Structures are given as C-alpha cells and as structure tokens.
Amino acid sequence: MQYRKLGRTGVEVSTQCLGAMMFGDVGNPDHDECERMVHRALDAGINFIDTADMYSAGESEQFVGRAIKGHRDEVVLATKFWFPMGEERNRRGGSRRWIVQAVEDSLRRLGTDHIDLYQMHRRAWDTDLEETLDALTDLVRQGKVLYLGTSSYPADQIVEAQWAAQRRGTARFVCEQPQYSIFARSIEEFTLPAARRHGMGVIPWSPLAGGWLTGKYRRGEQAPAGSRFSGTSHPAWERRAVDVEPNSPVRYDAVERLTKIAENAGLSLTHLALGFVAEHPAVTSTIIGPKTMEQLDDLLAAADVRLDSAALDAIDEVVPPGTDIAGIEHGSGNPALSPENRRRSVVDRLSATA
C-alpha cells in the first residue's frame, strides 16, 4: 500500500480508501463480517475509511464505529451529510440547523469525538453557500471536525466555494469525492483540473461503475442475483444508469473490448479499472466498496497495479478522455437542468408576444 498527502493538509492517506456504503441493510447486514473486513483492510495498510449518514439509514456509520474501536487513532475517518435522514423536512440539506444536528448524530453512531473529513454529499442548491461554510467552520473551531470536503460538486461550484471561503475567512473544502471510472470520464475536463488548481485531494467513488467493470454483467445473461443492477437489491436512484438504456448495448460492447485490453495487460478487468483511476495525477485515493471478504481481497490485490501507456491509450479508444459512456448519472442535482429552467414556459412565451 502506498500513501499520499490529502491535498495540502499534510495528512497522509492510503491510496485505497475503504468505502462502507455496502455495510448494513442495503449491502451486507452481517456486522461481524463487516468488522472483519475493516480489520483486514487495516492489516493491508489502509488507513482511510469513508462512510455517510444515509448509508443504510445510519447503520453503516454504526458498523464502522464498532469496527474501529481500539483503532481510532490509526484511521483517517470520513463521513458525509446532506441526503434526507427521515421524513421531517429539515433533516437534510446544507442549512446550519441541519448541519449542527447531523454532525452530532454521526459522532454518536461512529462512537468518536471528532470526524477527520466531513463531506457535503451533494451541493445544496437551495441554501446560501456562506451559511453552509460558516456552520461547517464552527464545527472545525469546536474540534468536532478537522477537515471539510465535498462530493459530486461541479467544477464551477468547487471554484465558487474556494472563493467564498477566502472572501469570508472560513475553513475551505480540502477534498472532492467525484464519480470517476473508465465509464465516467467527463470530470477529466473541468472537475479534476479545478481540484488540482486549488490543492484539493480527490477520492473517486464508483471506480468499477457499479460493478460493470468487474465483468459481472454480460450480454444476453441475467444480472447476478443481488447485484447492484439486478433490479432487486438497490433503490431506483442506483439503477438510473441502466434505466436510460435498458439493454445497454454500448456498455456491453465496452466491457468486451476492455476485457481484451485487460487480458493483454495480464490483468483482470477489475484490476484494470482500478489501475486506470489510480493513474490520474489528480487522484489521491480510490474508494473501494466491497460487500464481502472475497471482494475485498480481490480489490486489495489491485493496490499496486500500474498501467503502461499502451493500456491507457487502448482504454482511450473505448471511452475517449473527458467523456461518459451512455447512461452515466453524476447526480449533481443542478436545478439549472430542470425543465422550467431550460426553457420559457408557455405562459412566458405568450406574455412575451402579447
């Protein structure tokens, strides 16, 4: 396992980050196995763990908290907030009211007195950015949070947040967590360069494109039972990518071509995909999200994979740099993309011509 500085913080994190989205009811409800996976990751040299309050409605944080008991000082612990945590309308988003409650809830579930990296899971478009930064800065000053991060922020919002922090003298976001894989490369054009310019760490999620880049989904074959895109185990928001193109011909074509590239490189498709993400100079640590110990062992074996120029050039022929394959959903939630903001309504048009 290798280690890199998390942006300009001086904190060193492993180049693989153990993602805990699969810990709990949504993925693996067996607490004992999840705890063993955490300990196996720590033994392999991983010192970076990422979770979120909304993963299995808080159960993931509970699992992680129990697993790192006695190892807290060894772990750079990251979690996230923003998604709804119940039906009550104010238990979500980026308001000061919710942030001060959300952090206390996460601290309790994690069984710790501080969070190393506290990340905003999505941009709160309906909330003043300064309100969010002021509230998060108070948490830093109180010692409840050490560093701040974002997830799935568009490049312009990354820049705006950096400017706002400088303008108001608040703590700044030191890390971005974007979706990045061979299938999802559009962030190469603006997001990754923006993060580098501002000295931010980058910890990509979904480097295996929801399992597509393991080769488990094959043309003409039923998706494995319980897999993410089987249509039985995960909520609709996780299956939107295949809903766009139900038969996903472009995806199957890409998997077949990438499998040949992996074979030529002497690698499995999984290891090729992880190696690809790790090769980008902006990437600090790649989030791996195993559901079983077998998956974890396979992912750990890719920690030191390096791809040569021939493999990288061949990948570029399948999915060109700066582009996404059909059906990728980055989920920024930007209201500018809503129908009412893309075009003038019928009433507006009639009024303009009256």
Active-site positions read 55
Q: Which of 173, 125, 169 is nearest to 149 (CA)?
A: 173
* CA–CA dist 340, 319 (Å, integer): 32
Q: In terms of DSSP bridges, do strands 286-288 and 48-50 run parallel, antiparallel, or are they unpaired?
A: unpaired
Angle CA(179)–CA(209)–CA(173) in degrees, nearest 5? 15
The contacts of residue 242 (CB under 8 Å, 6+ apart) are: 229, 248, 251, 327
Phi, psi of 19 (to 5 degrees): -90, 135
Is 61 in contact with 31 (CB distance < 8 Å)? no
Tokens for 30?
């067996």
Beta-bridge partner residues of 175: 149, 201
**What is the CA 250 to chain-centroid distance, rounded?**
24
* CA–CA dist 253, 324 (Å, integer): 14
User: How far from 62 is each of 38, 96, 109, CA to CA, in Å?
Assistant: 13, 24, 5
Label residue 120 left, alpha or beta by phi (over 0 means left) and psi (-120 to 50 means alpha).
beta
Q: In terms of DSSP bridges, do strands 76-81 and 115-120 run parallel, antiparallel, or are they unpaired?
A: parallel
The helix or strand, by DSSP H or E, that contains position 63, with its residue range, turns out to be helix 59-67
CA dihedral 147→151→154→158, nearest 10 degrees, is 0
